[in-house]
Each structure stands twice: as structure tokens, then as C-alpha cells.
Amino acid sequence: MPQGHIDRRTVLMGSTALGAAGLLPRPALAQADTTGQGGQAATSLPARGKFVVRGAHVLTMDSGLGELPRGDVHVRDGAIVAVGAGVPAPGAEVIDGNGMIAMPGFVETHWHLWTSVCRPVVRNDDPRYGYFPVTSKLGPHYQPEDSYRSVRLGLAEALSAGVTTVHNWAHNVRSSAHADAELRAMRDSGLRGRFAYGSPQGMPNEQPMDIADLARVKHEWMPNDGMLTLGICSRNVGNDPNPMRGTVTTEMAKKEWGAARALGLPITLHTSGPRVTQLLDDAGLLGPDVQLVHPLNTTAEDRAILARRGTSYSTSPVGESRRPASAGVIQLAELLEAGVKVSMSIDHTTTYNCDCFVCMRMLYSLHQHRIGNKFKLTTRRLVELATIDGARDLGIADKVGSLTPGKRADLILVRTTDINVAPVGDPFDALVMLAQPSNVDTVVVDGRILRRAGRFTALDYAQVAKQAADTAAALRMRAKWP
């Protein structure tokens, strides 16, 4: 049996063990049940309230509604009811928005959440303990509960930083129970997100991904209440041998992507290695349901193909900017100029943190350093990239990404009175140049207030952190390393 492979009997035992470990849902507090285990209500989340944010500087990120220097946002039953000045909201709880920017929550579009607990093991100054060696070594030792705790740790940080939607790049799905554990962690967190189902660490490149289980996940978990969506994360395609994500031939990609498409699911992959875009296009694989990750070495021909196919590119500026100069630069201006859909992502949080403000700031700095005013990149454009463009990339812009009446209420309040930002002039400049996660005062996802005054309203962070530390220690023991 290949390393890391888990057969179906083990999967069933894994599910039982998971229940015994106390990870099965506790009684619902706030939300009606739907179908299947995936539809069961999230545990201990606050109810969707009726409230109105009054007197905030509202950045709707809706091109029709624009910016309201003093505006209100009325939320009811998880939806945005009205945005404007002095909106009537009888019976609604009033949240004072004075001294705050109200804006859509950040939508990040690629994050290896299962690696979050590797943080205490990964080191920057010793290549033996770099991100890839550590995650490749520990990955095969993950039990479902480790996956749960790792995703939960990452999502707790996401919430604290104002991220309301994630794209969970789950390329360590070792069994059905592991898939369920990651999905349960997403659901229990209250965040919105896409679960990109992938093959486990250590699986041979010749072995196809578990399409039957992918179909099961779709059947059991989708749709739950509109919070979770599903896709696949493909192994790398072409000539880049990558032990971490695996590398498959175009023939294998055609099989796996075809199976995903037959289920109506989108595809994401990393495009490390040269000439990947043209290889994929020659194989007839590209389309608007494909997201590529790390736009560093594209050619003008590549960008023309991507624009033509409607394929998007997700940039993770913090990690990408640490790569050697030979790996290329982040080609944000070139992509935007060519009309390629671009979004922004966290990637992982083992050697950097979840900070969309820093991501925007780095994109701005790198752009100014390399291109400057030859291509005008405004701070407003960067906030779009971090909100509505992320929603477009994940195919949920009809639901979130802007403060538009009728959309779901995913919004954040950012304090403008804190010492690192006050006094605020242009709000977009403040967000991109000055703000940091500690300025995020309030986080609302689907109408549930999950952070208020910079604190979790429901999540027990001490428990999340303790369990993550225990899991990291247990993984090291099991792997007998390092």
C-alpha cells in the first residue's frame, strides 16, 4: 500500500473515531437543519441578527453605490437590506459606526489551511525545516482531528483579520473522514468558503484522485446553507516535479478535471514551472472555471490566452515576494492590462500571518518599485482586488464582495481612530498604507456577528490554540521528526 493511502475500512473507522473524539456537531443553537451531515447546523454560532451600522464611512465596493462618508448598513436575516444615509431600521440593534470604515469582508482565494498547525515546526533560517519539507513530512501523519484543528486555527486567524471568505486548498484529504473534518471546521467557524478537494500528501502521481469521495462530499455537504462551495485542487500539471502538490500528466489532468467538471465543480492549480498556461491551453483544459495560483512567469501570450479563456490568477504577495529573483516578479499590472481576472490570497500562515492589509500594501509597493505610474494602480483598485474581485474569482459575486442590498451580509468595521491610522484622510489609502488586523473591530459573516470590539463572540480561542499546539506536538511524535 502506498505511503499515506487509507482504505475504505479505515475511513469508516476514522469517522467513528472522529465522533468519539467529540468532533461531531453539538446541538444547533441558531440555524435550521437541512439535509445530510454537511447540512447540519454549525455549532455555537451566534444567531443572524437584525442590526444597523450607523454613521460609518461606508465603502460599498459596488460601482453603482460608491462611497458614503457617513452612511448606514441595515442587516436582517443574514442579508443586507439597505445601504444609505439615515436608513430606517425599526427594531434593529444599532451598532455605532462612528470612527469606523464599513466595508465588505476580505475574500481571499487560496489558502493551505491544513498546514496551519505546522507553524511551530517550520523555520525560515534552516532549509531542512522549510515549509515544503515540514508539510511533506508531517502531512501523511494527519488524522482527521489534526485536519480539523489545523483548519480551525487558520480560520480563527482569518476572522480576526477581517477575512470573511476563504478558498481552502485541501491537498491532504487522506480519507472521507479527513474531508469531513476540514468541512466541519469550516462550517463550525462561521466563515464562508470554497473547499477545494485534493489528493493527499505522499500519494503516487499515477494514482487518480478519489472522485467517488468527491461526489460523496458534493452530495452530503452541498449546498448546505450557501456558506460552503466545492471545487478541486489539481496536482501540478506538466514538467515540475513537486513533492508537495504532486505533478500529473495532461492525460491525468484531463481525466480528473473532466470528472470534476461533470460534477459542475471548478478547478484550481499552482502553475510552478515554465510554459504551463500554453500546455494547459493546448490540452483544451482552460476555461472560466479554472483558477491558477502565483502569476510570476507569464508571457504576453499566456496572458492573452487567460483573458480569452476567462481563467483567473490568484496572487499571494507575501510568499511570492520571498522567492528568489530568478522565480520572476508578481505581474499584477501586466495581468490587469491584459484583462485577466486577478484575486489575492494568503497561501499559508506558517511563516507569515493572515493580513490582507499587508497583501495590498505589498502589491502596491512592488508595483511602484517596478512599474510606477506607467500603469496607474490606485489604492481603491487594491481594495477591490481584496473584496469583490475575490468574490468574482470564486464565483460568488452575486452573493458577497460588496455592500449591495440583497447580497449576504459579509462585512467588517475597521477602526480609524487607532494610533497607526488616525487621523484618516482617504479611506482607501488608510486601508492599503496604514491599517493592520488589530484595527478590525467587527466581523460579520452571513449576518452573524463573529467578532465585536476586536474579540470573538463565540469562538473559544484559548481552546483552538491549545488544541493546535497539542496537534503539532502529536504530529511531530508520530512522524518521529524533527
Q: Which residues of the shown chain bind Zn ion in the complex (CB under 5 A)?
A: 347
Q: Shortest Cβ distance from residue 39 to Zn ion (Å)? A: 29
Distance CA 30, CA 450 (A): 13
Q: Shortest Cβ distance from residue 347 to Zn ion (Å)? A: 5
User: Quick one: cell of 443?
Assistant: 466581523
Q: Shortest Cβ distance from residue 224 to Zn ion (Å)? A: 26
- Residue nearest Zn ion, Cβ-based: 347
84: amino acid identity, one letter? G
Q: Shortest Cβ distance from residue 193 to Zn ion (Å)? A: 15
Nearer to Zn ion, 152 or 171 (CB): 171
Beta strand ranges found along 219-358 (DSSP E): 228-233, 236-237, 247-248, 267-270, 290-293, 312-315, 341-344
Q: Shortest Cβ distance from residue 316 to Zn ion (Å)? A: 6
Nearer to Zn ion, 107 or 444 (CB): 107
3-state secondary structure (DSSP) of residue 52: strand
Nearer to Zn ion, 182 or 347 (CB): 347
Q: Shortest Cβ distance from residue 234 to Zn ion (Å)? A: 12
Nearer to Zn ion, 385 or 459 (CB): 385
Nearer to Zn ion, 347 or 389 (CB): 347
Q: Shortest Cβ distance from residue 202 to Zn ion (Å)? A: 18
Q: Shortest Cβ distance from residue 169 to Zn ion (Å)? A: 6
Q: Shortest Cβ distance from residue 110 to Zn ion (Å)? A: 6
| Contact (Cβ atoms closer than 8 angstroms) between residue 157 and residue 468 | no
Q: Helices 176-189 and 211-221: crossing angle, nearest 10°?
A: 30
355: amino acid identity, one letter? D
CB neighbours of residue 61 within 10 Å: 22
Neighbouring residues of 384: CB distance < 8 A, sequence distance ≥ 6: 61
Nearer to Zn ion, 347 or 393 (CB): 347
Report CA Rg, the chain: 21
| Contact (Cβ atoms closer than 8 angstroms) between residue 402 and residue 60 | yes
Distance CA 73, CA 55 (A): 9
Distance CA 414, CA 101 (A): 5
Nearer to Zn ion, 188 or 347 (CB): 347
**Alpha helices (H) along 395-460:** 427-429
Query: Strand pairing of 290-293 and 312-315?
Result: parallel
Distance CA 222, CA 203 (A): 26
57: which strand partners? Answer: 101
Q: What are phi and psi of 276, to 5 degrees?
A: -70, -40
106: which strand partners? Answer: 163
Element (H, E) at 76: strand 67-76
Nearer to Zn ion, 83 or 122 (CB): 122
Nearer to Zn ion, 316 or 402 (CB): 316
Q: Shortest Cβ distance from residue 389 to Zn ion (Å)? A: 18
Q: Shortest Cβ distance from residue 319 to Zn ion (Å)? A: 7
CB neighbours of residue 447 within 10 Å: 21
Neighbouring residues of 324: CB distance < 8 A, sequence distance ≥ 6: none
Nearer to Zn ion, 170 or 377 (CB): 170
387-419 burial, b for 16+ CB within 10 Å, e for fewer? bbbbbbbbbbbebbbbbbbebbbbbbbbbbebe
Nearer to Zn ion, 75 or 293 (CB): 293
Nearer to Zn ion, 58 or 233 (CB): 233
User: Quick one: cell of 263?
Assistant: 460534477
User: Quick one: cell of 130?
Assistant: 522549510
| Contact (Cβ atoms closer than 8 angstroms) between residue 232 and residue 198 | yes
Q: Shortest Cβ distance from residue 310 to Zn ion (Å)? A: 21
238: which strand partners? Answer: none
457: amino acid identity, one letter? T
Closest CA relative to residue 200, chosen from 474, 346, 2, 21: 2
Nearer to Zn ion, 143 or 349 (CB): 349
Q: Shortest Cβ distance from residue 271 to Zn ion (Å)? A: 11
